[in-house]
Chain A
Amino acid sequence: MTGDAMNPLLEVRDLYVRFGAKEVVRSVTFSIAAGEKLALVGESGSGKTITALSLLRLAGEAKISGQAMLRGRDLLSLSEREMRGIRGGEIAMVFQEPMTALNPLMTIGQQIAEILELKKALTPAQSAQAAIELLAKTGIPEPERRANSFPHQLSGGQRQRAMIAMALASEPALLLADEPTTALDVTLRGQILDLLSELQRKGNAGEGMAVLLITHDLNLVRRFADRVAVMEQGELVEQGSVAEVFRAPQHAYTQRLIASQPRRDVLEADPPAGADPVVQAKDLRVVYPTPLPGIRGWFKKGEFVAVQGATLQLLPGRTLGVVGESGSGKSTLAQAILGLLPYGGELAVAGQGWQQPATRNTPANQRLRRQVQVVFQDPFSSLSPRLTVEEIVGEGLKVHEPALDMAARRVRVEAALAEVGLSEAQFPGLLARYPHEFSGGQRQRLAVARALIVQPRVLVLDEPTSALDVTIQQQVLGLLQRLQRDKGLSYLLITHDVDVIRAMAHEVLVMKDGALLESGPVHQVLDAPQHPYTQRLVAAASVPELTGAD
């Protein structure tokens, strides 16, 4: 809290970053005191990552102007040689995706030792030992063994710990952490954040280490930071202590950001008794063939059980949330229900099972496909970049109502687009546009329109908002809620985000490693979780009470 009063460690004044004629960062001014935790918050494209990178002058071809004083030296006017001393020395960085930030051909130990040899002039033997100590400090079990592991042999959380160990190797005064937990599962996020907090407190040589956390996740900010700086479209619109900013945000954008927690706005009334479930599964089992090693693999295939004993029921007009970490089998479950994978056990969509093999487009399966449609996570890979909006949205009609002529199809396409809030008035020539012209949220609307045009009863939503910014996420969830109310759609909502489940779902399933751990009404599961894993999941997603002081 006293950061400004003390002599700041890093003081950034009037930072401008330009790519060609485009200004991506405008007049950004902030400071970090030694041992302080500052969070830089903003949505994608707000310029927060490029701000951090330009402090290290790693922003590629960007033109940077302004001042960034680190202990009296201006980072932006140092020679490239001096800069190399600073990078990985006084300022270290932790990246979002440890898998791509670590060299896949070197062991973790070697990568940490390399820095120690460079920055602290240790002998190879000393640095190998020090690398193990650093790994132990970040809480990796069996650090001696792990030091000899390659990045792909570690789990995601361990990789991120190894990245942090690397960053700490040079005992930096300032750690830049760029979305350090975004690529991790929810339950790991808290752990990594706690680790960062702990290391920050211990710091080096008695003085705490300053951390600049770059994130879009407001929950992380509340848990971690002392102060917060909010960026919007390249400008710093507000900064202050976390408690103050969250209690009384001044700038309109900050207010919108803070108010963008998913809101629950669904029909709570129980469906009429005796309503037939639109999706019903009993002991559903999905396996993937895996290659066996050696000569056995020539004749036989092993199997990997992705989903085991899944029993679920989805009633009309309701939402069944499936929550779990990556690799828990939730997306596989969705694909089985969509009839895209062979499965064992019982499954009925609208009272009918898929005719095996489900991947074949027999007439019976085609009728079922109309009933259940899907919206995927990544709005960029879910629309073919070489088809126009009309072709993308109209595709379902071509398959299921081939009798429609061009004009009739166009009317239906326009209606479907209007339903998801896209209109010709907003986008002149909407039907002839290509997906690259739309933002993530708009693309997701297009994906919803493509699914809705065949008038399905069930929509499988596979992480529909996790690739979107928080304010956009709220809009898309709002759209889905409205469509459910208006059309009585049933949703199978797959997500790792407990907040989204809380806002959308009526019933919840918790999955881990292909198995169902817990299921029940949303309030029961989230408010009084029974299984220890569910408890961890819910705890990791909960927002700490604001105490005002650290």
Chain B
Amino acid sequence: MSSLTKPPVSASPASLSPSRRAWLRFKRNRLGYWSLLIFCALVLVSLCAELVSNDRPLIVRYEGQTYFPMLKDYPEKTFGGDFETPADYLDPFIRERITGGGNWALYTLNPYGPNTLNYFAKAPNPSAPTRDNWLGTDDRGRDLLAQLIYGFRVSVLFALALTVTGVLLGVITGAIQGFFGGKTDLAFQRFIEIWGSMPELYLLIIFSAVFAPSISLLLILLSLFGWMGLSDYVRAEFLRNRQLDYVKAARALGVGNAQIIWRHILPNSLTPVVTFLPFRMSAAILALTSLDFLGLGVPPGTPSLGELLSQGKNSIDAWWISLSTFGVLVVTLLLLTFMGDALRDALDPRKADK
């Protein structure tokens, strides 16, 4: 009987899981794969922003002793100054002291922090790109490159957090609606309709008037409204998958509801979630940027791309502000979009792997 079933010759003895195959397909898309690599590199660099762009040197070797200004405040007197106040390493006098003679100091690549005001700048604020400030300064004299690096970090971390909370909420609510169906589904759908018709922007304005603005408040408010779109997709996937035969077979085996959701339906319902991830990221970055632009976003003093854009709008002659901020936004969003496209193709069931 089994003499007719010829064993199929498979290329590799180890079998690839569906997600592994999707990853291989993703990798074959050069544009998406390189976008992912570049994006990850950018995020990594911005995560170590303190080592890249800082107004304090990494290491100072002064008169036979080693100092780590990043970890500890040293008074100016340490380096031969007159005051007890913390040293300003951009001060030409201090600079000369710690780099002259047998002393040396290792500055970061861009010697400014996000809020560093250079009191010794040679040009008036805002200054166009110079040798000292590669991308120029903003209207308060802060270095633009430093602001962009730190602003990018805030944007990406915020977007990641918003995506994670949105996905968690969306998947959980979608799963509950889709799996239990019936009255649960009906009630939840009505709730979503009501919740979704709340004027989100007005709520943000009201809340930013009542509470002190902070990133976490913003995160909570945006998360409260960000899960609904995804929950619909997950619900539809659950409705479809819960009546497939493998779920019925698991029921007949006596597998409990939680296990059926977790092991059987959820892994097979995540395709839209994963496909939307990069697009949700870029939407979150845009949301934060536009709220900052309107002045409803992060508290003042936090480096932010939206705040820079609004500065660019206010001082339209300072082209370097708007142009470089715009550039960072375009590159970030493009990378995310390329990744999203590649991911969508990789998860498309109609595309066979060759």
- Residues of chain A at the chain B interface (Cβ within 8 Å): 20, 256, 335, 338-340, 359, 361, 365-366, 369-370, 372-374, 376-378, 381-388, 391, 395-396, 399-400, 421, 425-429, 432-434, 436-437, 439, 441-442, 447, 450-451, 454, 471, 475, 478-479, 482
Contacts and interface: CB of A to CB of B under 8 A. Distances in A.
B248 A436 contact: no
B4 A369 contact: no
Do most interface residues of chain B lie in helix, strand or loop, or is the interface mixed?
Answer: loop
B1 A479 contact: yes
B8 interface: yes
Contacts of B140: none
A382 to B, nearest CB: 4
Contacts of B268: 384-386
Contact of A340 (B18, B248, B263): B248
Interface of B: 1-2, 4-5, 7-8, 10, 13-19, 244-246, 248-256, 263-264, 267-268, 354
Contacts of A436: 18
Contacts of A374: 248-249, 252
A421 B1 contact: yes
The 9 closest A-B pairs by CB, nearest first: A382-B245, A433-B15, A428-B13, A376-B245, A369-B254, A426-B7, A386-B267, A421-B2, A384-B246
Contact of A382 (B10, B13, B246, B255): B246
Contact of A386 (B19, B244, B252): B19
Contacts of B13: 428-429
A388 B249 CA distance: 16
Given A378-B245, A434-B15, A340 B354 contact: no
A382 B250 CA distance: 10
A437 B8 contact: yes
19 contacts: A20-B354, A340-B248, A377-B245, A382-B244, A382-B246, A385-B18, A386-B267, A387-B267, A396-B253, A399-B255, A400-B254, A421-B2, A421-B5, A426-B7, A429-B13, A434-B16, A434-B18, A450-B253, A471-B4
A475 B5 CA distance: 9
A255 to B, nearest CB: 13
Contacts of B246: 381-384
B244 A381 contact: yes
A143 to B, nearest CB: 37
A437 B10 contact: yes
Interface-central residue, B10, B249, B256, by most chain A CB under 10 Å: B249
Contacts of A359: 251
Contacts of A451: 249
Nearest to B15: A433
Given A428-B13, A432-B15, A471-B4, A376 B254 contact: no
Given A384-B246, A384-B264, A434-B18, A395 B253 contact: yes
Given A399-B254, A421-B1, A442-B5, A387 B248 contact: no
Contacts of B249: 374, 376, 382, 447, 450-451
Contacts of B5: 421, 426, 441-442, 475
B245 A429 contact: no
Contacts of B18: 385-386, 434, 436
A335 B249 CA distance: 10
Given A20-B354, A361-B256, A450-B249, A475 B263 contact: no
B252 A437 contact: no
Interface-central residue, B4, B8, B15, B18, by most chain A CB under 10 Å: B15
Given A374-B249, A439-B8, A386 B17 contact: yes
A395 B16 contact: no
A62 B251 CA distance: 43
A55 B57 CA distance: 76
Nearest to A400: B254
Nearest to A373: B252
Contacts of A385: 18, 268
Contacts of A339: 252
A451 B252 CA distance: 9
Interface-central residue, A377, A391, A427, by most chain B CB under 10 Å: A427
Contacts of A454: 253
A93 B14 CA distance: 44
A287 B23 CA distance: 45
B7 to A, nearest CB: 4
B15 A366 contact: no
A399 B249 CA distance: 13
A363 to B, nearest CB: 10
A374 to B, nearest CB: 5
Nearest to B254: A369
A447 B250 CA distance: 11
Contacts of B244: 381-382
A475 B2 contact: yes
A240 B18 CA distance: 45
A339 B254 CA distance: 10
Nearest to A438: B8
A437 B256 contact: no
B7 A338 contact: no
A434 B22 CA distance: 14
Contacts of B17: 386, 388, 434
A475 B252 CA distance: 25
B95 to A, nearest CB: 60
Contacts of A370: 254
Given A361-B254, A388-B17, A432-B15, 10 more contacts: A361-B256, A381-B245, A385-B18, A395-B250, A425-B7, A427-B7, A427-B10, A437-B15, A479-B1, A482-B1
